[in-house]
Amino acid sequence: MVCKLYLVFIFSFVHLICHSSQQETGFVYNGFDQADLFIDGLTRILPDGLLQLTNATEFQMGHAFFKQPFDFDPSSTLSFYTHFVCALVPPTFGVDSGHGIAFVVSPSTDLSYEEQAQFLGVFSNETSSSSSHLLAIELDSVYSVGVDKLENPHVGIDVYSPKSIESALPSYFSSVLGKNESINLLSGEPIQVWVDYDGSLLNVSLAPMEVQKPNLPLMSTAINLSEIFQEKMYVGFSAATAKLTSNQYILGWSFSRSKELLQTLDLSKLPQAPPVPRKEKQKKQVPLVFIVLVILLVVLVLMVLGGAYWYRRNKYAEVREPWEKEYGPHRFSYKSLYKATNGFCKDGRVGKGGFGEVYKGTLPLSRHIAVKRLSHDAEQGMKQFVAEVITMGNLEHRNLVPLLGYCRRKGELLLVSEYMPNGSLDQYLFHGQNPSPTWLQRIFILKDIASALSYLHTGTKQVVLHRDIKSSNVMLDSEFNGRLGDFGMAKFHDHGANLSATAAVGTIGYMAPELITMGTSTKTDVYAFGVFVLEVTCGRRPVELVLPIEKQSLVKWVCECWKQASLLETRDPRLGRDFSSKEVEMVLKLGLLCTNAMPESRPAMGQVVQYLNRDLPMPKFSPSTPGIGAFMPVSMQASSAIGVSILRNSSVSLFVSHTILDGHGR
Ligand SMILES: *[C@@H]1O[C@H](CO)[C@@H](O)[C@H](O)[C@H]1NC(C)=O
Ligand SMILES: *[C@@H]1O[C@H](CO)[C@@H](O)[C@H](O)[C@H]1NC(C)=O
Ligand SMILES: *[C@@H]1O[C@H](CO)[C@@H](O)[C@H](O)[C@H]1NC(C)=O
Ligand SMILES: *[C@@H]1O[C@H](CO)[C@@H](O)[C@H](O)[C@H]1NC(C)=O
Ligand SMILES: *[C@@H]1O[C@H](CO)[C@@H](O)[C@H](O)[C@H]1NC(C)=O
C-alpha cells in the first residue's frame, strides 16, 4: 500500500518535473487548433487553426498569451528565443490598414486597460508606469504621430513605452542578392519573425516565408532585460485596430528559453491566412463610375464623330435630282469645288455681283476655273435653268467663256466656267487704276462680242439669248480677246420669282424699251449690244444719274451730240489721239442704230458683224430718224431698286419668254 502510495507520489513528482521542464523549454504551434492560450478582446482561434488577433473591426484589440508564465529569475540567464509567422491582411485590397501586432513579454496577461489603437494594445500611453515591465517587438503598420521615429510601417523594439528604443523599416538582408530587401508588412503575405535574446543582445529578424532566417538581423540592440523583467513573465501577442483595421493573424509560433531547444516551425503545416479580399464593395462602385465614364466618353466620342460627320456632310452636301442624271458630265461635286477654291476663301474671290460671288479655283492638273456662287431659293424653274445652262455649256465659240458645269446645293447654285485671267472689261473701262484699252483693242473686243452674239442668235440649232450684255459680262482672256460670259444669268437674277416668268430682266440701262411688254428676243440683245458699243466707245456707263440731266442717258446724249455735230466729243477721253475718227463715228452710229427704240429697225447681229468689219455699209440714218436716241422707258429715271420691284410685279411677268426659241425670232 505504502509502496503504491510511494509510486503515485513518484509518478506525480515525475509528472510535475516533466511538466515544469516542458514549460521551461518552450513550445511550438504549427497552427493553433490544439493550443492552450489565454485570449481576450477580438482574438479568436479559427477552426482551421489560425490565431486571429483581430478582425477588421474598428477600435478593438485582442491579446493571446501562452497560459503559463515563464520564469525570468534575474539570477539565471534571461535569454529567450522565438520564431513566429504572422500575416496582416488588409480588409480590402490596396486600402490603408492598421494597426499592427506586437510580440509581448509581459508580467500580466491582462492588458485590457491599454489604449487600443496607437499602442497596439500594449501600452496605455507614453508615461504610464503600469507598462514599465513590458517588452514589445512591434510590427507597426501605421505611423503614430509623435510616437514613432519612422513614418512608414516599421519594426520596433519597445521597452517601458511605445516609443521604440530602436526601429527599422521592415526588410531583410538577402545573402543571395547581397543586399537588403524590403518587406511590405501589409501585403497580406505571411511574414516570419525571429526575436533572439541571449541576455545582452536583442536581435530581431524578418523574412518572407520562402526565405531562410537571414544571417544578419534587422535590428541588434544591447539591452539588460533584468532591469525590466519581473520573475514571472507571460509571452504572447497583442494587436489593435483603430479607424484603420486589419485582419491580423498568427499562423505558427515556436518559443524557447534556450537557443538549442527552440523547436523548428513546420512551415508547410501552417494554416493559410486568407488572401486579401479584392475590393468587394468598391468593385461594384468603381466599375459603375468607370462604366458611366466610359459611356460618357463613348457618347462624347460618338457626338464628336457624329458632329464631324454631320459637319462634313453638310459642308459638302449637294442637291441632286433624278432629272440631273443626263447632265452627269457637267456636274461637279461640291467637294471638288470646295477644294479647288480653297474652301471659297476670301483671297480667291475675284468678283462680287448683285446675285453671287465669283471665286477663282484650281482643279487638279492645274486647270483654272471660275466658280460663281449664286444663291437661290426657288427650286421651281431650276430644271429649265440648269438645262439652259448646260445647253449653253455645249456652245462652242472662241468668244464665249466656256461653261464647264455646275453644282447644286440647298439654296445655292454653282456655275463653273473657265477662268479668264484678265477679268471683265468694265474694270478697264471704268477703273482708273487699270490701263485704258486702246481704240484698236476696243474695236477688236466689239467685233469679238458681236461675233459671239451672232453665233448665239444664228449659229446654233436653237436661238440662244444672252439677255444681259454689258461690259461687266465681257471677259478678257489671256490674249485680251473679248469673251462673252454669264449667258442666261439675267434670268437667274431675279431668283426670288418663278424663273420662267422673269424674262423681262436685264440690267438697267441696257434694257430695250419693249422688253417689259414683249419680253426678250434677239432684238433686245441687239439693243443691249448697242448700249455696250456706246459704253465701250464713250468710256462711261449707260445711265449716270450724277451727270446733268441731258447727259444722264448715254444713248440720248450721244444722239444729241450728233445732232449738234459734235458726235466725236462723246468718245472716251482716255482714248487719246490714237484712233480713227471715221471708225469711232461709225461705231457710235452703230450703237445708236442698235438702240433704236423700234425693235424692227435694229439690225440683226449678223449685220452688225458685217458693219463692224466694213463688209457692209451701214444704212443711212440721222439723229432725227424716228426711234434713234429715244428715251428708255424701262429704266431712264428708275433706280435699280424700283426696277427690280417692277420686275417682281407679277402683272409684269405675264409675258413669258424662253431663252431658247426654236427657230422663232431668227
Ligand atoms: C469580428 O469579431 C467579432 C467577435 O468575434 C464579431 O462580433 C464581429 O462580427 C467580427 N467582425 C467582422 C467584421 O468580422
Ligand atoms: C496617459 O494616461 C494617463 C492616465 O492613465 C492620462 O492621464 C494621460 O492623459 C495619458 N496621456 C496621453 C498622452 O494619452
Ligand atoms: C541592411 O540593413 C541593415 C539594418 O538596417 C543595415 O545595417 C545595413 O547596412 C544594410 N545593408 C545594406 C547592404 O544596405
Ligand atoms: C545577434 O546578432 C549578432 C550579429 O549582428 C550576433 O553576433 C549575435 O550572436 C546575435 N545574438 C543572438 C542572440 O542571436
Ligand atoms: C544587468 O543589470 C543587473 C542589475 O542592474 C546587473 O546585476 C547585471 O550584471 C547586468 N547584466 C549585464 C549583462 O550587464
* pLDDT tens track for 605-622: 999 999 999 999 999 999
Under 8 Å between Cβ of 54 and 61 = yes
Residue bearing the CA closest to ligand 4, atom 10: 203
Q: 386 vs 481, which has greater pLDDT? A: 481
Residue bearing the CA closest to ligand 3, atom 9: 180
Q: Alpha carbon of 54 to those of 59, 275, 414, 489, 588: distances in Å?
A: 10, 15, 83, 94, 118
Ligand 5 pocket, residue 222 CB under 6 Å: no
Q: Among 193-202, 253-262, 279-288, 521-530, which is the least confidently predicted range?
A: 279-288
What gap in Å lies between CA 658 and CA 647, rounded to an integer? 16
What gap in Å lies between CA 459 and CA 455, rounded to an integer? 4
For CA atoms 582, 587, 588, 589, give the dihedral sign: positive
pLDDT per position as a tens digit, 143-199 = 655 555 566 788 888 887 777 888 888 999 988 888 889 998 888 899 999 999 998
Ligand 1 center–CA 366 separation, angstroms: 85
**Cα 653-654-660 angle, rounded to 5 deg:** 80
For the cut 90, the answer to whether the pLDDT of residue 593 exceeds it is: yes
Confidence of residue 604 (pLDDT cuts 50, 70, 90): very high
Ligand 2 pocket, residue 163 CB under 6 Å: no
pLDDT at 328: 64
Q: Which residues does 609 contact at the CB level (< 8 Å), separation at least 6?
A: 447, 450, 451, 454
Ligand 5 pocket, residue 226 CB under 6 Å: yes
Matching residue, cell 444704212: 619
Q: Among 24-33, 323-332, 459-468, 552-561, which is the least confidently predicted range?
A: 323-332
What gap in Å lies between CA 406 and CA 386, rounded to an integer? 8
For the cut 80, the answer to whether the pLDDT of residue 459 exceeds it is: yes
Q: Nearest bound ligand to CA 169?
A: 3
The grid cell for 318 is 449637294
pLDDT at 557: 93
Q: What is the mean pLDDT of residues 548-570?
A: 91
Ligand 5 pocket, residue 640 CB under 6 Å: no
Instruction: Determine what percent of the chain is predicted with pLDDT higher than 70.
Output: 80
Residue among 158, 448, 468, 486 flagged as catalytic: 468
The two counts, helices (H) then strands (E), for the chain are 14, 27
pLDDT at 281: 54
Ligand 3 center–CA 206 separation, angstroms: 13
96 is catalytic: no
For the cut 60, the answer to whether the pLDDT of residue 280 exceeds it is: no
The number of the ligand 3 atom at minimal distance from the alpha carbon of 173 is: 1
Cβ < 6 Å from ligand 4: which residues?
Answer: 196, 198, 201, 203, 216-217, 220
What gap in Å lies between CA 246 and CA 65, rounded to an integer? 20
Determine if residue 645 is left, alpha or beta; phi over 0 gives left, psi from -120 to 50 gives alpha, anything else beta.
Answer: alpha
Ligand 1 center–CA 43 separation, angstroms: 10
Q: Nearest bound ligand to CA 163?
A: 2
What gap in Å lies between CA 429 and CA 575, rounded to an integer? 10
For the cut 80, the answer to whether the pLDDT of residue 139 exceeds it is: yes
- Binding region for ATP: 372
Using alpha carbons, select from 432, 637, 449, 635 the residue that is nearest to residue 533: 449
* Cα Rg, the chain, nearest whole Å: 56
The verdict on pTM exceeding 0.75 is: no
For the cut 70, the answer to whether the pLDDT of residue 343 exceeds it is: yes
Under 8 Å between Cβ of 211 and 250 = no
Ligand 2 pocket, residue 127 CB under 6 Å: yes
